[in-house]
């Protein structure tokens, strides 16, 4: 009898622990989901009264598909497709890339099953990989003239439309800095690594313990930060390509390549003032946005795509947020210290293998509609909240981060360089960067990891 | 006449099943083996035949061997813990305690939650709940997220897998215990067998068929783990918890080396097939009839 009671006690205890952990898991896990795309948001009204776009009535009834790899604009793209269908009679089905799938994997599996999307929003690297065999040559499209410097050419041909400009750098919260220091803050006054470090010191002295948020995500570390070593070579995509080729061929030794050292210098500064310094690999992405909005930190290394998170954390779209450059050294005349990186990141490719002539024509027309119609222009900026690369688009972005990049583009304070790296660059070298971030490796090991990675590429 | 009828029976009963089996298992498998001999990147129209070069690539891929070693450690830990816990709980739950059906259902529930969802739930528990518990109580154990330390992240992975898999195995062991013949048990008691003696000499041999199934299921599931791995740690911190299956997937799809990834997958298949085969052979030999 006593044995039975003991057995019951053990079983009860175990069941209790298990069900309790399950319940708490559920409650916390689902209630705090910050990225619900269906959430109602304030929406900018679109003025559709004026529409001078010449619709092609012969395309009516055509059905095309668009694979979307930018989850945050899924709802907006649906609306855009519906609006276009109303005017042109062409049905645009927007298919999302589900969480966990990479856009490239998705598009490749669709191709292998013989059912690819008519259009696909992809990263530049993916377009380069697919261009030769699958993509439709868009070299004759008129919008190429509207985006000088932002169109990607592959072997002298254009295979994709640059959908938006994205930029990255050190996001600052101006009001927090001014409140902490008790004086006006002019971002343009910081032009060197030293000046930036001094500013951080002053913030610490004024009571802000750790002023920087540093994401642990491999895409942030491996792609957005580490790629500065290629992109700041001379601030152009060609220069980045050249430096990559030289590293690959063993002509350029990273040990002696100045930008590598400069980059780690800057990264060390961010590391030193990291709010999650005690446990940098435990840093939580959503918490970083909250810290920045609440004023626990003043800086966050990220890009303009982080705005929805910051807004969710309580920031308003007229708050003074902006970007500082990723300071590489103490030379005030170095472009890297006064310009931020901004380039067309998402590209729309049209299928040239399976789509019939009518579908291809409809897809081309849809792209033209985005660039030239009054409605398309507005929706690209207001509904999708993107920075348009097209000079004929008169609408200005609405959130402070995109607006900052938009203004810097107009003032020539950005550099347009994007390095085309292998698809696993961010994952493999992101891990190496995480190791460095956690102080589990040193500078030499990090440099060696980059060198080894390139040595393995054919 | 007889053989004619046999042929008809074969066509009616076996052919559809065999067709499905060939279409979804054998053909993709052979195609996969063929892919290991090419340099296909997953999308190109042409596949160049390159012989056994991919297998040479497997040998050189140190990360694959590291992840395979880690998978072995994981399998050993999971197989032992799952079967031990499941066996003990099943034993307790077949002794007629009050509400045992409720407990059986309760323990089985984690198995009904998909691996991906489960991983995300536990990721939240490890990196937020435990950390805030650590902050408010000052316990060093929970001071920082377990998922940011290679060893603790591995322990977390094992713990979550054990939590998920145990329920299923409990069910099989419970069925085994229920099937034990009362006569044999009674006879053993009359002969004076009690406690450990009875367990070792009577219960265990009669339970071996359940053990065979449970070991086989846990072995193959643990070797092929992907979903929990992806959603709980995704290989973090810095790729130290990347298991073999995940590495294979990354090679094929992220690094775009289909041939190499497929070759690694084939190797993994052979290893799992051999080990499970040996296990089934060994435990089957120990099975007895009541």
CA distances from A451 to A258, A280, A457 (A): 14, 25, 10
Model pTM greater than 0.95?
no
Domains in chain B with CATH codes: 55-285 (1.10.3720.10)
Is the CB of B131 less than 8 angstroms away from the CB of A282? yes
* Band (A456; pLDDT cuts 50, 70, 90): confident
Find which of B43, B114, B166 to mutate to test the A interface (most A CBs within 10 Å of its CB): B43
Q: Are strands A212-213 and A299-303 parallel, antiparallel or unpaired?
A: parallel
Query: What does the pLDDT average to over A325-336?
Result: 94
pLDDT tops 60 at residue A380: yes
pLDDT of residue A38: 46
Q: Which residue has the higher pLDDT, A7 or B19?
A: B19
Measured between CA atoms, the residue of chain A closest to residue B146 is A282
Q: What is the 3-state secondary structure (H, E, C) of chain A?
A: CHHHHHHHHHHHHHHHHHHHHHHHHHHHHHHCCCCCCCCCCCCCCCCCCCCCCCCCHHHCCCEEEEEECCHHHHHHHHHHHHHHHHHHCCEEEEEECCCCCCHHHHHHHHHHCCCCCCEEEEEHHHHHHHHHHHECCCCCCHHHHHCCCCCCEECCEECEEEEEEEEEEEEEEHHHHHHHHCCCCCHHHCCCHHHHHHHHHHHHHCCCCCCEECCCCHHHHHHHHCCHHHHCCCCCHHHHHHHHHHHHCCCCCCCCCHHHHHHHHHHHHHHHCECCCCCHHHCCHHHHHHHHHHCCCCEEEEEHHHHHHHHHCCCCCCCCEEEECCCCCCCCCCHHHCCEEEEEEEEEEEECCCCCHHHHHHHHHHHHHHHHCHHHHHHHHHHCCCECCCCCCCCCCCCHHHHHHHHHHHCCCEECCCCCCCCCHHHHHHHHHHHHHCCCCCHHHHHHHHHHHHHHCC
Quick check: A226 and A429 in contact, CB under 8 A? yes
> In the Cβ-directed half-sphere of A76, how many Cα atoms lie within 13 Å?
24
pLDDT tops 60 at residue A1: no
Neighbours of A57 (CB within 10 A): 8
pLDDT of residue A28: 34
Q: Which residue has the higher pLDDT, A367 or B255?
A: A367
pLDDT of residue A35: 46
Interfacial A residues in 130-189 facing B (CB < 8 Å):
130, 133-134
Q: Which residue has the higher pLDDT, A370 or B143?
A: A370
pLDDT of residue A14: 52
pLDDT of residue B237: 87
Of A12, A28, A282, the CB nearest to B145: A282
* B87, two tokens: 């066996």
Flag the least confident range among A15-29, A236-250, A423-437, B268-282.
Answer: A15-29
Mean pLDDT of chain A: 88
Quick check: A306 and A300 in contact, CB under 8 A? yes
Interfacial A residues in 351-410 facing B (CB < 8 Å):
none
Please indicate whether the domains covering A57-166+342-415 and A168-340+418-456 agree at the CATH topology level.
yes
Nearest to B165 by CA among B75, B272, B34, B260: B75
pLDDT tops 80 at residue A457: yes
pLDDT tops 90 at residue A458: no
Q: Which residues of B touch A280 (CB under 8 A)?
A: 148
Flag the least confident range among A24-28, A71-75, A369-373.
Answer: A24-28
pLDDT of residue B65: 95
Mean pLDDT of chain B: 89
On the 0-12 / 13-18 / 19+ scale of CB atoms within 10 A, B44 is middle
pLDDT of residue A129: 86
Quick check: A367 and A90 in contact, CB under 8 A? no
pLDDT tops 90 at residue A125: no
Nearest to B92 by CA among B102, B80, B100: B100
Phi, psi of A394 (to 5 degrees): -85, -5
Nearest to A84 by CA among A386, A397, A391, A379: A379
* Band (A446; pLDDT cuts 50, 70, 90): very high
The C-alpha atoms of residue B259 and residue B37 are separated, in whole angstroms, by 7
User: Residue with structure tokens 């807004």?
Assistant: A311
Is the CB of A25 less than 8 angstroms away from the CB of B121? yes
Interfacial A residues in 201-220 facing B (CB < 8 Å):
216, 218
Is the CB of A100 less than 8 angstroms away from the CB of B116? yes
Is the CB of B107 less than 8 angstroms away from the CB of A105? no
Helix, strand, coil tally for chain B in percent (to 5): 80, 0, 20
Measured between CA atoms, the residue of chain B closest to residue A277 is B144
Quick check: B20 and B244 in contact, CB under 8 A? no
Question: For residue B44, what is the DSSP state?
Answer: -
Query: What does the pLDDT average to over A177-196?
Result: 94
Quick check: A65 and A93 in contact, CB under 8 A? yes
Give helix B62-92 / helix B258-285 axis angle, nearest 10°. 30
Is the CB of B125 less than 8 angstroms away from the CB of A28? yes
pLDDT of residue B111: 85
Query: What would the pLDDT profile of B137-162 be if each residue is shown by its tens digit?
Result: 888 888 888 888 899 999 999 999 99
The complex's ipTM works out to: 0.79
Q: Does A25 touch chain B (CB under 8 A)?
A: yes
Interfacial A residues in 279-338 facing B (CB < 8 Å):
279-282, 284
User: Residue with structure tokens 């645009």?
Assistant: A92
Measured between CA atoms, the residue of chain B closest to residue A428 is B239
Query: What would the pLDDT profile of B191-239 be if each residue is shown by its tens digit?
Result: 888 888 888 888 888 899 999 999 999 999 999 999 999 999 888 788 8
Q: What percent of chain A has pLDDT over 70?
A: 90
CATH code given to domain A168-340+418-456? 3.40.190.10
pLDDT of residue A29: 31
Question: What is the architecture, at CATH level 2, of domain A57-166+342-415?
Answer: 3-Layer(aba) Sandwich (3.40)
pLDDT of residue B226: 92
Residue B157, H or E segment: helix B150-178
* Band (A354; pLDDT cuts 50, 70, 90): very high
pLDDT of residue A31: 33
Domain boundaries of chain A, sorted by first residue: 57-166+342-415, 168-340+418-456
Distance of CA A391 to the CA centre of its chain: 21
* Band (A177; pLDDT cuts 50, 70, 90): very high
pLDDT of residue A12: 53
SS3 B138: coil
pLDDT of residue B213: 92
Distance of CA A414 to the CA centre of its chain: 16
Of B42, B93, B250, the CB nearest to A11: B93
């Amino acid at each position: 009898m006593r044995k039975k009671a003991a057995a019951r006690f053990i079983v009860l205890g175990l069941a209790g622990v298990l069900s309790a952990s399950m319940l708490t898991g559920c409650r916390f896990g689902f209630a705090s989901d910050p990225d619900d795309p269906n959430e109602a948001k304030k929406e900018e009204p679109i003025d559709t009264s004026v529409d001078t776009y010449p619709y092609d009535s012969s395309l009516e009834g055509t059905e095309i598909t668009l694979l979307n790899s930018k989850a945050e604009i899924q709802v907006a793209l649906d609306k855009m497709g519906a609006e276009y269908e109303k005017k042109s009679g062409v049905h645009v089905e927007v298919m999302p890339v589900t969480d966990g799938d990479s856009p490239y994997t998705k598009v490749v599996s669709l191709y292998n099953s013989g059912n690819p999307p008519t259009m696909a929003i992809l990263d530049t690297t993916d377009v380069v990989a697919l261009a030769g065999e699958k993509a439709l040559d868009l070299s004759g499209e008129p919008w190429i003239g509207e985006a000088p410097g932002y169109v990607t050419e592959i072997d002298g041909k254009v295979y994709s439309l640059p959908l938006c400009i994205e930029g990255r750098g050190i996001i600052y919260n101006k009001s927090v800095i001014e409140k902490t220091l008790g004086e006006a803050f002019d971002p343009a006054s910081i032009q060197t690594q030293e000046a930036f470090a001094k500013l951080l010191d002053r913030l610490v002295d004024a009571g802000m313990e750790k002023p920087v948020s540093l994401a642990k995500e491999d895409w942030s570390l491996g792609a957005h930060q580490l790629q500065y070593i290629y992109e700041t070579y001379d601030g152009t995509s060609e220069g980045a390509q050249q430096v990559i080729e030289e590293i690959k061929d063993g002509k350029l030794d990273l040990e002696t390549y100045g930008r590598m050292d400069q980059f780690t210098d800057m990264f060390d500064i961010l590391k030193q003032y990291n709010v999650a310094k005690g446990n940098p690999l435990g840093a939580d992405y959503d918490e970083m946005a909250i810290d920045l909005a609440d004023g626990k930190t003043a800086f966050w290394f990220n890009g303009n795509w982080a705005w929805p998170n910051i807004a969710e954390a309580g920031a308003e779209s007229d708050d003074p947020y902006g970007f500082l450059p990723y300071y590489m050294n103490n030379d005030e005349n170095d472009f890297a210290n006064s310009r931020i990186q901004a380039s067309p990141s998402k590209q729309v490719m049209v299928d040239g293998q399976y789509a019939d002539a009518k579908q291809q024509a409809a897809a081309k027309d849809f792209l033209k509609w985005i660039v030239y119609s009054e409605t398309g222009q507005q929706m690209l900026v207001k509904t999708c909240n993107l920075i348009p690369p097209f000079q004929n688009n008169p609408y200005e972005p609405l959130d402070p981060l995109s607006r900052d990049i938009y203004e810097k583009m107009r003032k020539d304070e950005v550099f347009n360089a994007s390095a085309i790296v292998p698809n696993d660059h961010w994952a493999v070298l992101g891990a190496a960067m995480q190791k460095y971030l956690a102080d589990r490796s040193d500078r030499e090991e990090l440099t060696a990891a980059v060198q080894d990675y390139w040595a393995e590429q054919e | 006449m007889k053989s004619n009828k046999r042929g008809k029976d074969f066509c009616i009963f076996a052919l559809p099943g065999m067709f499905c089996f060939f279409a979804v298992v054998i053909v993709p498998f052979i195609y996969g083996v063929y892919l290991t001999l090419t340099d296909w990147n997953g999308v190109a129209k042409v596949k160049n035949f390159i012989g056994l070069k991919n297998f040479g690539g497997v040998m050189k891929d140190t990360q694959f061997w590291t992840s395979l070693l880690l998978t072995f450690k994981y399998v050993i830990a999971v197989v032992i813990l799952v079967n031990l816990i499941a066996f003990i709980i099943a034993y307790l739950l077949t002794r007629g305690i009050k509400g045992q059906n409720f407990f059986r259902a309760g323990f089985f529930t984690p198995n009904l939650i998909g691996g991906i969802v489960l991983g995300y739930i536990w990721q939240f528990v490890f990196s937020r709940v435990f950390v805030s518990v650590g902050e408010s109580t000052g316990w060093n154990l929970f001071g920082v997220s377990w998922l940011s330390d290679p060893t603790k992240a591995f322990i977390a992975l094992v713990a979550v897998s054990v939590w998920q898999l145990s329920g299923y195995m409990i069910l099989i062991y419970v069925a085994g215990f229920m099937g034990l013949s009362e006569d044999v048990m009674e006879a053993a008691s009359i002969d004076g067998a009690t406690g450990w003696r009875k367990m070792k000499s009577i219960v265990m041999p009669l339970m071996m068929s359940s053990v065979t199934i449970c070991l086989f299921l846990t072995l193959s599931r643990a070797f092929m783990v992907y979903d929990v791995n992806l959603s709980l740690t995704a290989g973090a911190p810095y790729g130290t918890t990347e298991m073999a299956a995940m590495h294979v997937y990354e090679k094929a799809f992220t690094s775009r080396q289909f041939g190499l990834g497929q070759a690694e997958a084939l190797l993994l298949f052979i290893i799992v097939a051999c080990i499970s085969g040996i296990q089934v052979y060994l435990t089957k030999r120990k099975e007895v009839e009541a």
